[in-house]
Structure 1
Amino acid sequence: MGTRSEQGGGGEAAAPPLKRRLRLNSPLAQVILVGLVCFCCPGMFNALSGMGGAGQVDHAAANNANTALYAVFSVAGVLGGAAFNLLGPRPTLFFGCSTYLLYAASFLHYNHFHDQSFVVAAGAFLGIGAGLLWAAQGAILTTRPPPARKASFFAVFWCIFNTGGVVGGAIPFAMNYNRAAAASVNDGTYVVFMGFMAAGAALALAVLPVGGGPVTARAEAAEIAKLFVAWKALLIAPAAWASNFFYAYQFNDVNGVVFNLRTAGLNNVFYWAAQMAGSAGIAWVLDGGARGRRRRGLLGIATVAAVSAAVWGGGLANQLRYTSGKWEKKLDFKDSGKAYAGPVALYCGYGLLDAAFQSLIYWVIGAMADDPHQLSRYSGFYKGIQSAGAAVAWQVDKRHTPLLTQLLINWGLTTASLPLLALLVFLAVEDEAGKEIVASNEYQTPSQQS
C-alpha cells in the first residue's frame, strides 16, 4: 500500500472509473450482486412477514414456523461461517436461496389445506438455508469493501436489499387492493414471491470467492468453539440478541393489529424505504465526519441511542392506546384520514431504527478483524445469536404476552446492548492510518485480496 503522498496528497486515491468499479470481480459489483440476491430472497421474506402472520388472518401458523425457523437458524447461523469457509459462496448462497422458495410455497399450500405441518417444516428448513445465506452475506460485506468505506458499501447493500421489502410490500398491496375486508392474501401473491426467490437463487451463482487460504473442517470447528469464550464475541452478543427480537412485535402487534390487510402491505413499502434512510444516515456518521474510526464508532452508537429513545418513546405512547391488544377499528390508508398518519409514521420509525442498529453492528464486526475467515465466523456468530433471540420473541408473541410488556422488553434489550457495543469499539477498534486510506488497490480480484 502506498503512502499518502504517493496516492495524491489528499489522503485518498482517486476512485477508479465507473466501468472498473462495476466489473464483476470488483468489490462494489460483488456487494451489489449480494444485495440483489438478498433483494429477491430475504427481502421478499421480510415483506411476507411484515404483513403480519405472513398474510394469514390466523398468526399461529406463521408464529410456529418462525419459531422453528429461528431456532434452527440460531445453530445454522453459528455454523454458517464455517460452511462458507469450507464450501465457498456459490453453493452456500444457492442452497440458502432455495429454502426461501420452499417457505413461500408452504403458505400457498396453507391457503388451501390449512395444514401447519408443512409450514413449520418449511420454516425449519429455511432456518438452515438462512443461516448459510446470511453467513455468506456477512462474510462478503465485511471483507470485500475497503476499510474506510465499510459502512458506505453496507448502505449500498442495505438499500438494494430493502428495495426487496419495498417491492414485496407493494405486491400484496396491489394484488389485494380491492379486498380490504379479506382475511388472507390470495394465491397470486405467494406465486409472485416465489418467482422473485427463484431469481435470487440463479443470481447467487455469479458471486465470486472472497479470498483467504484453505481451511479444514476440524480447524473450523475449533475456531467456532472459541467464539463462545472470546470477549469480542461476548460483547456483541447482547446486540445480536436484540437486533431481530422486535420483529414479532412490530409486524404482528403493530402492523398486523392496527391496520387492515391492504394497508399493512402498503405500510411495508414505507417501512423498508425508511430502512434505506436509516442505513444511509448511519453510514454518513460511520464513514465520514469525525476523524478516527474509534471516534466515529462511538459517535454512531450515540446516534443510534438517540434515535432508539425517540422511536421507542413514540411506540410507548402508541401502545398505551390499545393495551388490550385490539385496535378499536383497523386503520385503512384511504378511509382513516389523519388517524392513519401517526401510527404509520411510527412504523416507519421502527424501520429506520432497525437499519441504523444493524448497520452499526456490521460496521463494528468489520472493524474487529482483517482475516476473511475470522470475519465470516463473527458474522455467523452474530446471525446465530440474533436468530436465537428471534425464536424466543416469536414464542413470546404466540403466548399472547401483553403488548406493553413486549414493547418494554424490546426497548430494554436494544438500550442495554449499546453500552457494551461502545466498550467493544473502545477496546477493539484501532485508528490505524493505513486502514483509513482508500488505497489504489481498492478494486482487487479475489486472488489479489488473499
Structure 2
Amino acid sequence: MADTEPEKTAPQEHVHTSTDYPEGAQVEIPQGWMYRSRKLGPITFPWYASPQSQLVLVAFVCFLCPGMFNALGGLGGGGQVTAYVGDASNTALYSTFALVGFFAGTITNALGIRIALSFGGIGYCIYTSSYLCFDHTQNFGYSVFAGFFLGICAGVLWCAQGAIMMSYPPEHQKGRYIAVFWGIFNMGGVIGALIPLGQNIHTTSNSTVTDGTYIGFIVLTFLGACLAWTLCDAKKVIRSDGTRVILMQHPTWKSEFIGLWETLISDPWIICLWPMFFASNWFYTYQFNDVNLAQFNTRTRSLNNVLYWFFQIVGAVLSSFILDFPGMRRTTRAKVVWCSLVVLTFAIWGGGYAFQTTYTRAEVNKGANTPLDPSDDYVKMDWTSHGYIGPMFLFIFYGVYDAAWQTSIYWFMGATTNNSRKLANFAGFYKGIQSAGAAIIWRLDGLDAPPPYMNIFASCWALLAGGLIIAAPVLLMKIKDTVSVEEDVKFTDESVDDVVAHKIGHEAVDQEKV
C-alpha cells in the first residue's frame, strides 16, 4: 500500500538565518498584511507592529508634544518679553524631571509604553496653557506648578521614547532609526516655530507672542497625547530579522526598582556618560535666552527658531551616515563619532565665543526696572539689520551641533545592549542627569543678579569638552561590533527561545495567514 501523500503546505515566503541566534536556528519572517494569532490576538498587522511603524508613531507623538515645547522655548522666555517667568517655570520643570528621570524606567516598564507616552503628553498641554494664563492673569504660581507637573510627565514620556528608539531597531540600523525619529520630532519644532513667525512677521518691536500662538500649541499637544494610544504593546513588535524586543515577561514595581539598582551594578560604566548627559541640555538656556532673546526682536527670534530646529533635522541626517556607515565596524564608527564631536565642539563654540564678546548682560538689561520689564535702552537686532548674517549662521550651527550631540548619546547607549528593560533604565538616567543640569542653569539665569553671559557661555563649552573626555573610555572599551541575544537576555526572565520569532511561531503562536 502506497504511503499517504503528505499534505501540501504553502512555501515559506522568507527565511533568514542570523549568527546571533543558536546554531542552526532559522527565523521565519511573516509576510503580507494580515495574520490570525491565538497568542497575539485575533488579527494583527505585521507592518503596523514593525519597529519602523512604531518608531514613526512615537516620533509624531514627540512632534506634537516636546516638538511644540521646543518651538515655544526656542523663542526665549516661552514667547514672553523677558525670561523671568520661563526661567522659574523651567527651573521647577527640570528639578522635578531630574528626580523622576531616575525612576522613569521603572515607571515605564511597569505601566507600559502607551500609558507612559499619553500621560507625558498631557503635561505639555498644561505647560503651554500656563503662558496663556499668565498673559491675562499674571498668575505666576500656575506657571511654576505647570513646570513642576510637566517635569513628572516629561520624565516618563522621554524614558518610554528612549527605550523604544534604542531597543526596537536591529543593531545595524540604530543610527538610521535615531535619525528618523530626530527628524520627525524636530519637524514639530520647525512647524511650531513657523506659527509665531507667521503671526509676528510684521512685529519689529520686542513683545510677547499672540494668544493664537499659545492656543495652537495647546491643541497640538493634546492631539499628541491622544495619538499615543494608537501604539502597539512592546511584546507584539517583531523586527525585520524575525526577533522580538527583549523585555520582562511579568514586570512588577518591586522587580523594576530592583532592576534599577541592578543596572548600576551590572553596568557601572554608564556613570562615565553622565557628564555628557549633564551637558546635553545645559546650553539651551544660553542659546535661547542669552543669545536669541537677548539679541533679537520678536520676528527675528522666531526666524532663528525655525532655522535652529530645521537644521537639527539636517544634523541628525548627517550623523546617521556616520553612525550606520556599512563599510566600517561599529567600534571604528564609535571612535569616528567621538572625534567628529571634538572637532565640532571647538569649531562651532569657538565661533560662539567670538559673537559673545560683542555684548554683555549689563548692556542688554540696561534701563529695565524689574525682571518682568524689558529694557527700553537696548535696540535688538532685526533680520534687516547690518551684520545679521553671521549670528544667523551661528544659530544654524548650534542646531546642527545639538542634533549631533543628542543622537550620538542615544547611539552610544543603544550600541551597548538591545535589552528594552535595561535601555529604559539608561534612558531614565540620561533624562534625569540631563534635567538636573538644565534645572541648575535655568535657575542661575533666573537669579535677580544672574552671571554674566560670558560666564554661562564658558560653562557650556567646558562641560561639553569635559564630557567628551570622560566618555572616551566607554567608547573604547564597552562598545562592541555586536551584542549576542544570550548576553542581552541575562537581565530579564526571558530566554533566547522567547526572543527568536521562529521558535515563537512554531512552538507558541501557531500563526496562520488570513
TM-score normalized with structure 2 length: 0.80
Partner letter of residue 433 of structure 2? I
Residues 310 and 141 of structure 1: is their aligned pair in 2 closer, same or farther, counting only changes over 3 Å? same
Q: Residue in 2 aligned with 1:123?
A: 147
Q: Is the contact between residue 75 and residue 384 of structure 1 (CA under 8 Å) also seen in structure 2?
A: yes
What are the superposed Cα offsets for residues 199-250 of structure 1, whole Å, 9 maximum, x if unpaired? 1011100112223222121121122234556422211111000000000010
Partner letter of residue 49 of structure 1? G
Confirm whether residue 369 of structure 1 aligns to residue 417 of structure 2.
yes
Q: Residue in 2 aligned with 1:93?
A: 117
Q: Distance in 1 between matches of 2:250 and 2:338?
A: 36
What's the CA shift for 1:170?
0.7
Q: Residue in 2 aligned with 1:272?
A: 309
Residues 281 and 79 of structure 1: is their aligned pair in 2 closer, same or farther, counting only changes over 3 Å? same
SS at the partner of 2:130? helix
Q: Is the contact between residue 227 and residue 381 of structure 1 (CA under 8 Å) also seen in structure 2?
A: no
Residues 18 and 362 of structure 1: is their aligned pair in 2 closer, same or farther, counting only changes over 3 Å? farther
1:262 to 291, 299, 302: 299
Confirm whether residue 336 of structure 1 aligns to residue 347 of structure 2.
no
Confirm whether residue 222 of structure 1 aligns to residue 222 of structure 2.
no
Q: Is the contact between residue 263 and residue 422 of structure 2 (CA under 8 Å) also seen in structure 1?
A: no
Q: Residue in 1 aligned with 2:467?
A: 417
Q: Residue in 1 aligned with 2:444?
A: 396
Confirm whether residue 406 of structure 1 aligns to residue 456 of structure 2.
yes
Q: Is the contact between residue 416 and residue 483 of structure 2 (CA under 8 Å) also seen in structure 1?
A: no
What's the CA shift for 1:434?
7.0
What's the CA shift for 1:345?
0.6
What's the CA shift for 1:182?
4.5
Partner letter of residue 82 of structure 1? T
1:356 to 404, 412, 418: 404
Q: Is the contact between residue 71 and residue 388 of structure 1 (CA under 8 Å) also seen in structure 2?
A: yes
Q: Is the contact between residue 418 and residue 483 of structure 2 (CA under 8 Å) also seen in structure 1?
A: no
What's the CA shift for 1:289?
5.4
What's the CA shift for 1:329?
2.8
Q: Residue in 1 aligned with 2:330?
A: 293
Q: Residue in 1 aligned with 2:228?
A: 204
Q: Residue in 2 aligned with 1:387?
A: 435
Q: Distance in 1 between matches of 2:482 and 2:137?
A: 60
1:347 to 395, 406, 418: 395
Q: Is the contact between residue 290 and residue 296 of structure 1 (CA under 8 Å) also seen in structure 2?
A: no
Q: Distance in 2 between matches of 1:443 and 1:253?
A: 52
What percentage of residue pairs aligned between the two structures are identical?
38
What are the superposed Cα offsets for residues 300-351 of structure 1, whole Å, 9 maximum, x if unpaired? 1111111111110000000000034545531112x214x1111011011111
Q: Distance in 2 between matches of 1:17 and 1:171?
A: 41
Q: Is the contact between residue 27 and residue 444 of structure 1 (CA under 8 Å) also seen in structure 2?
A: no
Residues 244 and 444 of structure 1: is their aligned pair in 2 closer, same or farther, counting only changes over 3 Å? farther
Whose helix fraction is larger, Structure 1's or Structure 2's?
1
What's the CA shift for 1:22?
9.0
Q: Residue in 2 aligned with 1:50?
A: 74
Partner letter of residue 96 of structure 2? V
What's the CA shift for 1:3?
4.8
1:319 to 341, 356, 370: 356
Q: Distance in 2 between matches of 1:242 and 1:21?
A: 41
Partner letter of residue 222 of structure 1? I
Residues 61 and 166 of structure 1: is their aligned pair in 2 closer, same or farther, counting only changes over 3 Å? same
RMSD: 2.6
Query: Moved runs in structure 1, 4+ residues, more than 6 A?
Result: 16-22, 442-445
Specify the structure having the higher radius of gyration (Cα). 2
Residues 287 and 434 of structure 1: is their aligned pair in 2 closer, same or farther, counting only changes over 3 Å? farther
What's the CA shift for 1:422?
2.2
Q: Distance in 2 between matches of 1:208 and 1:254?
A: 42
Residues 91 and 444 of structure 1: is their aligned pair in 2 closer, same or farther, counting only changes over 3 Å? farther
Q: Distance in 1 between matches of 2:452 and 2:206?
A: 26
Q: Is the contact between residue 106 and residue 256 of structure 2 (CA under 8 Å) also seen in structure 1?
A: yes
What are the superposed Cα offsets for residues 383-424 of structure 1, whole Å, 9 maximum, x if unpaired? 000000100010121122111111110001011111222211
What are the superposed Cα offsets for residues 47-104 of structure 1, whole Å, 9 maximum, x if unpaired? 1011110011121111010000000001111111111100101111111000100001
Partner letter of residue 162 of structure 1? N
Gaps of 5+ in 1: 5-13, 436-441
Q: Distance in 2 between matches of 1:286 and 1:92?
A: 28
Q: Distance in 1 between matches of 2:339 and 2:92?
A: 35
What's the CA shift for 1:180?
2.2
Residues 434 and 253 of structure 1: is their aligned pair in 2 closer, same or farther, counting only changes over 3 Å? same
Larger deviation, residues 280-289 vs 349-358: 280-289
The 5-angstrom pairing of residues 418-437 of structure 1 reads: 418-432=468-482
What are the superposed Cα offsets for residues 272-293 of structure 1, whole Å, 9 maximum, x if unpaired? 0111111111111111055211
Partner letter of residue 203 of structure 2? R
Q: Is the contact between residue 21 and residue 28 of structure 1 (CA under 8 Å) also seen in structure 2?
A: no
What are the superposed Cα offsets for residues 86-143 of structure 1, whole Å, 9 maximum, x if unpaired? 0101111111000100001111100101121000000000000000100000010011
Q: Residue in 2 aligned with 1:234?
A: 271
Q: Distance in 2 between matches of 1:150 and 1:257?
A: 38
What are the superposed Cα offsets for residues 352-411 of structure 1, whole Å, 9 maximum, x if unpaired? 111100100000111122221011111111100000010001012112211111111000
Q: Distance in 1 between matches of 2:307 and 2:131?
A: 24
Q: Distance in 2 between matches of 1:265 and 1:21?
A: 42
